[in-house]
Amino acid sequence: MTAGLLVVLAAAAVIAWIVGGPLLAARRRAALRAVGLSDAERAILSRRVPLYRCVPPGLRERLDGLIRVFLAEKEFIGCGGLEVTPAMKLTIATQACLLVLGRDEHVYDELRSVLVYPSQFVVPQTWHDEDGVVTEEESVLAGQAWDVSRIILSWEDVTAGGRGDEAYNVVVHEFAHYLDHETGVSLDVAGREDSGPAALLAREYEALCQAVERGEEPFLDPYAAEDEAEFFAVASEAFIETPREIAAAHPDIYAALASFYRLDPASWPVPRRGPGR
């Protein structure tokens, strides 16, 4: 075999890898989406995630397919002695996939692992202030979007959300941070965009910070006043968990998030609490 032929073959292999890889991945995802969920899995979700029952039939099929892809592609790692059961994986995957239900072909592509602790966990954090002074301290967290490949959750906190009766959902919160990192929406809010969803959110964020400063109790958890990224994550929790309430109290926040997520959860049926978790 000549050196020239070897080069041609090597180039052909590289081209096949570049073109074929994504095609194979897309085909694998399409097959997984077509499988969807089993009746047993739907029954588990009906008990554990009442919001699942509210998703309209057309979207429900799409959600089932996204959940199947999520479960196949992401590794769940139990930490602190926790064994992550299939039902726990299903519960987390469903709430994460609710957020991308309206987005094209999005299943958190770069995410590799979801780490799950039994309860809140301690992480070392480093802060740099404006003068360059570095402070190191330990934080106790319910969840963290650690980096592009990992999200960490406290199972105790996961079970406290997802019921649609209060605006608390640590899975939605952390996956909203993940989407924010990808899209830079909170940076646009911080940059006080002139128009569009980020401009609406910027005005609402200002109003919220002022209300918190005045000692008032805002509609959103006051933690949303921490910064624009937390505002987006906390507002996303309310958008998924209590959409009718936030649409009534803050129509601009609802409109901005409906545009970002391409979903209208306020039009979905009201969830009824399941018989137990």
* Binding footprint of Zn ion on the chain (CB under 5 A): 230, 233
Give 165 or 226: the residue with its C-beta nearer to Zn ion: 226
CB of 143 to Zn ion, least distance (A): 7
Amino acid identity of 43? A
CB of 17 to Zn ion, least distance (A): 38
Question: Is 219:250 a contact under the CB 8 Å cutoff?
Answer: yes
CB of 226 to Zn ion, least distance (A): 8
Which one, of 246, 221, 218, lies nearest residue 231 by Cα?
Answer: 221
The rounded distance, in Å, linking the Cα atoms of 248 and 251 is 6
Cβ partners under 8 Å of residue 233, min gap 6: 173, 174, 176, 177, 180
Residue 270: count of CB within 10 angstroms of its CB: 10
Give 69 or 151: the residue with its C-beta nearer to Zn ion: 151
Paired tokens of 48 = 């554990």
Give 64 or 237: the residue with its C-beta nearer to Zn ion: 237
Give 170 or 247: the residue with its C-beta nearer to Zn ion: 170
The rounded distance, in Å, linking the Cα atoms of 203 and 231 is 12
CB of 115 to Zn ion, least distance (A): 16
